[in-house]
Structure formats: structure tokens, C-alpha cells
Amino acid sequence: MTFNDIFKSSFLENVTAVSLLDMVLALALAFGLGMFIFLVYKKTYQGVMYSSSFGVTLVALTMITTLVILAVTSNVVLSLGMVGALSIVRFRTAIKEPLDIAFLFWAIAVGIVLAAGFIPLAVFGSVIIGVMLLVFVNHKSHQNPYMLVLQCADAQAEQAALSYLTAETKRCVIKSKAAQAGNIELNVEVRLKSEDTSFVNGLAATPGVSSAVLVSYNGDYMG
């Protein structure tokens, strides 16, 4: 068996299965759309600490998915082997923000659609998804809940503060209460009537209320 006989198989024939122009065009478009996804992620991020590495991951994930699908579409046998190889991959990194899952699936979907040749679908679909995320995620409303932390001296001050809150807010619900000698701490979820938060100043001036802190709350809640 000669050296040529060893490599005389469909392996070398698959080198030209995908043209160089198709590869360059697909990867270039994947990079461009991946950057678009990254910019939308950066504009809509609402977590505590922004991670630039996750944004770079979105760009890389779009390009890698495009690369894999290009190889799969060029060879049916390879596609079966690729499914088996990817099935053993396990990721243990926890997703801290639920919205990050949408961006991950978005990047993967764009890579698949691009490699399949549906370029208009990938471009226009990404634009529509990006605009939708920018509009809904960045939408600020006074209907969103806030957490109010109150420090009261006694039960009389507590009742006065709650009565004031009932009159000045759309809704207030006590979430937790801690009582000690000479101090009562309340955590109250409030819904504002408008964007005006000056009621906190009046609340702090209530006799017996030593502290009133209003905190924006963007966690899960039941409407």
C-alpha cells in the first residue's frame, strides 16, 4: 500500500465540498450578525455586573455554529457523526440571567440559518428580534415593583408609615418584618402611581420613622 493509497478516499474529495467563497461569505456574515447580537446584548443588559466575555462568546458561538453546519450540510455521514460527538458535550456553567438564554439560542439559530443558505431570513430575523428586545427590555415603567426598607421606632410609627404608603402608592405589600427592642424593620413591595418618588421624603419625615430606603426591584414577582 502506497502513501497515495492511504489517502485515496472520500476524505480528500470532501475538501472541495464547500467552496472557499461560500466559507468566507458565511463566516463574514456570521461575524457581522454576531456583533449585532453582541451590541443588542450590551444595550439591554440589566444585571449587576456586565461581563464582556459573554458578549464575545455570542460572536464566537454564531461563527462556530455556522462552521459546524457548513460541514454537516456538505456530508450526510459527517452529520450523523457530528450529532453523536456533540451529544457527549455537557456544560455546567449556570445561567444567571434568564434573558441570556435567549441570546444564546439567538446566536445558535443565526449560525444554523446562515449555514443553511437562508441569508435574508437570518438578517431580517435578527433585525426584528433585536428591535423587539431593545423596545421591551429597556422599557421603564412605574408599574414595576420597588422594595421599600423602613426603620420604625414602635408599632405606632409602623401604622402611621403604612397608612401613609397606602395613600401615596398604588399598592403596598409587606414582604418581611423584623422586630427588636426600640426598632422595627419592614421590607415592603410597592407599586408607584407615577414616576414621582418624593413620597419617600415625606415618609422619612413621619414621626417615629428613622429611615426609608427605596430600591428598584427587577426580580421575579407575580403580577
CB 75 within 8 A of CB 169: no
Sort 5 into a burial class: Cβ within 10 Å, 0-12 / 13-18 / 19+.
exposed
- pLDDT greater than 80 at residue 136: yes
Looking at the DSSP bridge assignments, the partners of residue 187 are 149, 176
Rounded to the nearest integer, the mean pLDDT of the chain is 79
The model's pLDDT over 30-61, given as tens digits with 9 standing for 90+, comes to 999 999 999 999 888 876 667 788 888 899 99
pLDDT mean over 10-16: 52
- pLDDT greater than 50 at residue 222: no
CB 40 within 8 A of CB 133: yes
Of 75-79, 134-138, 160-164, minimum mean pLDDT range: 75-79
Residue found under cell 420604625: 152
CB 55 within 8 A of CB 103: no
CA angle at residue 41 from 37 to 43, to 5 degrees?
120
Q: What is the pLDDT of residue 211?
A: 86
